[in-house]
Amino acid sequence: MDVFEAIRTRRSIRKYKDKQVPWDNVVTILQAGKYAPSAGNLQNWKFIIVKNDAKRKAITKACLQQEWMEQAPVFIVVLAEPKKAERFYGIRGSRLYTLQACAAAIENMLLTAHSLGLGSCWVGAFDEHEIWAILGLPEEISVQGIVTIGYADEIPQAPPKFRIEHVMFFEKWWGRIESPKSHLGYWSAFNMKTVNEGKKLAKKIHKKVKENINKRLAKK
């Protein structure tokens, strides 16, 4: 599975089979998270693997009663060290760069899990203080997300996505100076050719109609 195929076909999985995930797969997923980019290569993240039934149940409860989570045999809790980034980049480092780095790590893990034939889901709704208590975290550590990992027991339909021409501009906000040259939905070269041919046909028909009207008027 190439990278784009993994990106295109990945889905958030909320139903899992009662089957354990091989440990080497878990390590591979964590390695993918480790290779994510981070500001200044600070890598100010930490990952906690949770497999214990009681802890997974407690974390599920802390995630606003998302009961489906408990089916997943592995949780990866993604943590951040904001102060580490703040020392180098100030408030922007702790409030933006840290979040971006952890988000990149999570996406890497989601895609890697999918490429290994596993299902996963990025969970962002939780009571952070409860997670702190469950995992014995120090106050300076922030909880950025929880990734559930397991064998999928569902095949979710692809969610609707905006067309590329609806989310891209040229040179400035709402810049529409040209159409993309590559195949980008309705702005592909093929469709542009069809539109242009349609315009020519419309002009031709308009010309004939106009000529017929003039002839009838001349007879009168």
**Tokens matching residue 178:** 């040209």
Same domain, 20 and 63: yes
Assign 209 a pLDDT band (cuts: 50, 70, 90).
confident
Question: What mean pLDDT, rounded, does the chain reach?
Answer: 90
Same domain, 62 and 99: yes
61-82 CB burial, b ≥16 within 10 A, e <16: bbbeebeebbbbbbbbbbbbbb
Whether 155 is covered by a domain: the verdict is no
The neighbouring-strand residues paired with 76 are: 49, 147
Question: Pick the residue with more confidence: 161 or 213?
Answer: 161
Assign 205 a pLDDT band (cuts: 50, 70, 90).
confident
Total-model pTM: 0.79
CA–CA dist 45, 67 (Å, integer): 27
Question: Pick the residue with more confidence: 59 or 194?
Answer: 59
Q: What is the mean pLDDT of residues 177-182?
A: 58
pLDDT per residue as tens digits for the range 61-84: 999 989 999 999 999 999 999 999
The tally of CA atoms less than 13 A away on the side-chain side of residue 144 is 27
Expressed as residue numbers, the domain containing 195 is 162-220
CA–CA dist 17, 10 (Å, integer): 17
Whether 156 is covered by a domain: the verdict is no
Residue 103's CATH number: 3.40.109.10
Assign 185 a pLDDT band (cuts: 50, 70, 90).
low
Element containing residue 74 per DSSP (H, E)? strand 74-80
Distances, alpha carbon 30 to alpha carbons 43, 49, 77, 128, in Å: 13, 9, 11, 22
Residue 193 pLDDT > 90: no
Q: What is the mean pLDDT of residues 98-125?
A: 98
Same domain, 109 and 18: yes
